Amino acid sequence: MKISWESPSNIALIKYWGKKDIQLPSNPSISFTLSECKTTTEVHFSKGRGVNITLDGLDKPEFIPKIESYLERIIHRHPWLSSYNLQIKTSNSFPHSSGIASSASGMSALSLCIVDFAQKLNFKFDALNFYQEASILSRLGSGSASRSIYGGIAVWGNSPSLKGSNDEYAIKYPGLINPIFEDYHDVVLLVDVGEKSVTSTIGHALMNNHPFGKQRFSQAHKHLNEIQEILKTGDIENFIRLTELEALTLHGLMMSSSPNYILMKPNTLKIIEEIREFRSESELPLSFTLDAGANVHVLFPGSAKKKAMEFINSNLIQYCKENRFILDQVGSGPKRLTNFVK
Ligand code: DP6
């Protein structure tokens, strides 16, 4: 039986950086689910045991250890997996060498296929519903993947200020959202498309003995309280202040860990400077965020799209590798593609 899902990437506004136990976050995080950056995965389940995986039709034996350790982590929840063979065919909408993390979209797409098949087997899973179970499995594959299960805005990690929030799975953001944030755009400027010098796994681990770890985790809680008011009222000025602070804090944490490291490139800083200059001159609500890499995500509401794109084309793409960027926006979440093809 073959099952196929498409699942998007997401961009965190309040960052997950640091984890404990088995993939539990050190602080709550919140993100926009994207629309264009996505992974499509088809899994062929057959009786037996083992895994193989192709990316864009090419065998990828180097991905097998990662998938196997993910399967080991989830098998206590899905013991039926031990008598199945998984043939995984996957492809990303964004180029493999774009420096865009495929773990959020990839792990969520695979988890959705597995939970879908479990349901088909009439397997009773522990979580309350399909999406909660898919978010738990996604989290066990990659923390940020837990948030890709929901369209719009998603929150992962327990916050006393948000009812229903949980370390084990993400939830769709339950608060009021001003319409301005339902049509938010994210232009991903591809500054550096190579392998990252330090992986997120190592970065998270460095938060364990980080001199500012405790302060950071309580800051993230405070930011999650603040962003709820911002999302409700559509307070763009504070949205920009808070999300840029989060982005630079993430990189500040990397620069102040032992060992320390820098993932931003000179062009990352040039873009940030240009955005800030343009914002103060034009008064357009254009801002940036960063993930754990050199690429810059330029954020703006749909109403600013025309002017923002003019500015990006005239001033920013010169800093991108081969002038490359991806135009994305807040999206509606994963989609089941085929329904139980035998
Ligand atoms: C900077 O989810 O990639 O993008 O759980 O080890 O797979 P693992 O880490 P990952 O870390 C993402 C970190 C981030 C911030 C975020 O998405 O919240």
DSSP 294-341: S-EEEEEEGGGHHHHHHHIIIIIGGGSGGG-EEEEEB----EEEEEEE
**263 lies in a domain?**
yes
How many Å lie between the centroid of ligand 1 and the Cα of residue 17? 7
Give the list of residues 6+ apart from residue 214 with CB closer than 8 angstroms, or none: none
Backbone angles phi, psi at 14, to 5 degrees: -115, 125
Indicate which CATH number applies to the domain containing 237: 3.30.70.890
How many Å lie between the centroid of ligand 1 and the Cα of residue 1? 32
Is 160 in the same domain as 189?
no
Is 237 in the same domain as 280?
yes
b/e burial code for range 10-43 (CB count within 10 A of at least 16 → b): bbbbbbbbbbeeebebbbbbbbbbbbebbbbbbb
Consecutive H or E run containing 25 = strand 24-25
Is 290 in the same domain as 323?
yes
Is 122 in the same domain as 238?
no
Is 218 in the same domain as 170?
no
Smallest CA separation from ligand 1 atom 7, residue = 142
How many Å lie between the centroid of ligand 1 and the Cα of residue 29? 10
The residue from 177, 208, 231 where one domain ends is: 177
- Upper half-sphere CA count for residue 342 (Cβ side, 13 Å): 0
The residue from 177, 206, 225 where one domain ends is: 177
Provide the pairing of β-strand 29-47 with 153-156. antiparallel
What's residue 31's pLDDT?
98
Domain count, the chain: 2
Is 167 in the same domain as 186?
no
Is 28 in the same domain as 168?
yes
Show the domain range for 23.
2-177
**290 lies in a domain?**
yes
Contact 187, 100 (CB under 8 A): no
**105 lies in a domain?**
yes
Smallest CA separation from ligand 1 atom 8, residue = 142
What's residue 102's pLDDT?
79
Ligand 1, CB within 6 Å, residue ranges: 12, 15-17, 23, 29, 101, 103, 142-144, 200-201, 204, 250, 291-292
Indicate which CATH number applies to the domain containing 88: 3.30.230.10
CA–CA dist 29, 54 (Å, integer): 31
**336 lies in a domain?**
no
Is 246 in the same domain as 99?
no
Give the DSSP letter string of 70-83.
Answer: HHHHHTTT-GGGGG
**136 lies in a domain?**
yes
Select from 144, 156, 249, 263 the residue to mutate for testing ligand 1; criterion: most ligand atoms less than 8 Å from CB. Answer: 144
CA–CA dist 317, 97 (Å, integer): 17
Closest CA to 338 of 105, 109, 60: 109
Is 121 in the same domain as 235?
no
- Upper half-sphere CA count for residue 322 (Cβ side, 13 Å): 6
CA–CA dist 20, 208 (Å, integer): 8
Is 173 in the same domain as 183?
no
**49 lies in a domain?**
yes
**341 lies in a domain?**
no
Smallest CA separation from ligand 1 atom 6, residue = 201
**259 lies in a domain?**
yes
CA–CA dist 271, 162 (Å, integer): 34
* Digitized pLDDT (tens) for each residue of the chain, 342 residues in all: 999 999 999 999 999 999 999 999 999 999 999 999 999 999 999 999 999 999 999 999 999 999 999 999 999 999 999 999 999 999 999 876 666 767 999 999 999 999 999 999 999 988 899 999 999 999 999 999 999 999 999 999 999 999 999 999 999 999 999 999 999 999 999 999 877 788 899 999 999 999 999 999 999 999 999 999 999 999 999 999 999 999 999 999 999 999 999 999 999 999 999 999 999 999 999 999 999 999 999 999 999 999 999 999 999 999 999 999 999 999 999 999 976 555
The residue from 119, 146, 177 where one domain ends is: 177
In ligand 1, the atom with minimum distance to the C-alpha of 16 is 18
How many Å lie between the centroid of ligand 1 and the Cα of residue 282? 33
Is 163 in the same domain as 204?
no
What's residue 137's pLDDT?
98
Is 171 in the same domain as 284?
no
What's residue 88's pLDDT?
98
CA–CA dist 166, 177 (Å, integer): 20
How many Å lie between the centroid of ligand 1 and the Cα of residue 292? 8
